[in-house]
Chains A and B, each alone.
Chain A
């Protein structure tokens, strides 16, 4: 059976430590744009940790929420692309084909989650920082839209490895960089078509919600809401 990749984000475990943000940066050759461009909102972060304050001092609460491409099953970004650069892959991802992208930015406009990033300039690395670049991931030039791929390069190499060893993929075997790094294990990745996988189990949780689910985008990412502590300890 074909895979349908999905993620569960347990907000009760997430501590806002930003490990996922840097892991993504290291894995996916995301350029640093510098202060001036960052001020214009042109910094690129395929995954970010959103922070929401509730209440006023002294009764302040904070909620952290990692947000990445939700890999929607009914994705607003796909039908608007005039060149089919944004398209739906066989395994349920919202693919972005850099070769086809002509930089209309319609997809970023259509996206409900602000997880698509445009390359306003050619990325640049001061030598020898470029020696770190991951050869498994393309470098995106100016004029190209980019976004989280669920680390498709890791999925592909895990699939190739499994095929070589003549076996099925194990649950949790392809892990995107963010999931791999997450210290409190707030991020869980796996195959939603496998009802026994950890991610499927978590996606069925009572705490599970979809981000802006009312829009009908049908994301493959499920958020597990934070619990409240109460005295009888459940």
Chain B
């Protein structure tokens, strides 16, 4: 058993090495002229390191560590709708992750004495925004263009894809959003399963 795992991981490493060879941002090969500028100044869809490509290949994601112990439960208990903070979800592709201005609209007045809110106010006073870490989302090389709005309009509940958020403090990735998950629902509801519905 142990040797099989080792064999498998060797294959993975090998594959990752090969793929990273192809995915390496070859600034020398890309001949747009650059004089004395290192690759930090270049944007490319390539994976930054071998490790990143390996991670994506095996579908492993880091558990995000949020800068604040935000509690979804408390907000939902206070009858705050998801869309109050996650703006744009019924208008366009992505559900917005709120910036600190959204938080401060209420927390200038409410719950000012709580330690996490004090931390929040401290960040705000230093002129900074909260560095929320992404919980969901697809990697660029998945070439998926998911659009929230039509799902909201089709009355798909948030919890279908995001789990039982009202029982969560910081959001965790409760549902594995792979293609099988999407397709099973699309098939059940008899909506398009054409590739270009999502991949373009």
Contacts and interface: CB of A to CB of B under 8 A. Distances in A.
Q: In the complex, are there CB atoms of A and B closer than 8 Å?
A: yes
Given A156-B145, A156-B200, 5 more contacts: A33-B31, A36-B31, A127-B41, A138-B143, A160-B147
* Chain A residues touching B, range: 35 or more
Contact of A122 (B44, B150, B195): B44
B32 A141 contact: no
Nearest to B37: A126
B46 A142 contact: yes
Nearest to A144: B143
A122 B192 contact: no
27 contacts: A33-B30, A35-B33, A36-B31, A89-B195, A95-B195, A97-B143, A97-B196, A99-B143, A99-B199, A120-B29, A122-B30, A124-B25, A124-B42, A126-B34, A127-B42, A136-B145, A137-B145, A137-B200, A138-B140, A141-B23, A141-B141, A142-B22, A153-B200, A156-B196, A157-B147, A164-B149, A164-B150
Interface string A94-131: 01011100000000000000000000111111110110
A204 interface: no
Interface residues of B, number: 36
Contacts of A122: 23-26, 30, 44-46
A141 B42 contact: no
Contacts of B45: 122-123, 139-141
Contact of A34 (B26, B30, B37): B30
Contacts of B199: 97-99, 138
Contacts of A98: 143, 199
Contacts of A126: 32, 34, 37, 41-43
Top 4 nearest A-B pairs by Cβ distance?
A130-B43, A34-B31, A36-B31, A139-B45
A156 B93 contact: no
Contacts of B119: none
B97 to A, nearest CB: 15
A142 B197 CA distance: 23
Contacts of B145: 136-138, 153, 156
Contact of A123 (B44, B142, B196): B44
Given A122-B44, A137-B200, A90 B194 contact: yes
Q: Is the interface of A mostly helix, strand, loop or mixed?
A: loop
A87 B24 CA distance: 29
A36 B44 CA distance: 19
A32 interface: yes
B153 interface: yes
B27 interface: yes
Most central of B32, B41, B140 by chain A CB within 10 Å: B32
A37 interface: yes
A143 B194 contact: no
Nearest to B193: A90
Contact of A124 (B22, B27, B140): B27
B24 to A, nearest CB: 7
